[in-house]
Amino acid sequence: MFRLYGPTAEAAAAIQGRKAQTALIFGTGTDIIEVHRVEEKLSRTGGLKAKVFTSREIEYCESKHRPALHFAARFAAKEAFLKAMGTGWSGGLAFTEIEIVNNDLGKPELFVSGKVREFCEAHRIAGMEVSLTHIKDLAQAVVVLERRPDAGPAAGNRE
């Protein structure tokens, strides 16, 4: 179990404009993917883009010089999120229920809906962090899900 506390937590909270608090890690996930695989799949499979990405994600990625890099990074984030949940892609979850949108500073943020949101509420997920990176041929994402410290052990948690 990891707890964030002390000056580092206070500094991070001040930068983010919120009160420092202890967070308990519910799960972490990471995924890496070859950009050309995503690019080929999206170009070959009609309608796949709309099954995997939200309209905001599609608009953002297609506005970039190399859209495939950005689609691949977001796909990796969705996979990493499912790994952090500990469930994988099961139970009728849809990729579009996990959305990655950059804030005004360019930081990617996670938004959930549908069954993914229900899962997060049932497991008392209070924080979601995502980091994306990509280079010419690869895209990678890391997701950390945080549970409220007052939540007690959640179903499926490995404490």
Q: Any idea which residues carry the catalytic annotation?
A: 83, 134
Nearest 10 degrees: Cα torsion 144, 145, 149, 155: -130
Give which of 62, 157, 46, 60 is closest to 111, Cα–Cα. Answer: 60
d(CA 70, CA 133) in angstroms, rounded, equals 9
Is 113:97 a contact under the CB 8 Å cutoff?
yes
Cα pseudo-dihedral 123, 72, 111, 48, rounded to 10: -100
| 138 SS3 class | strand
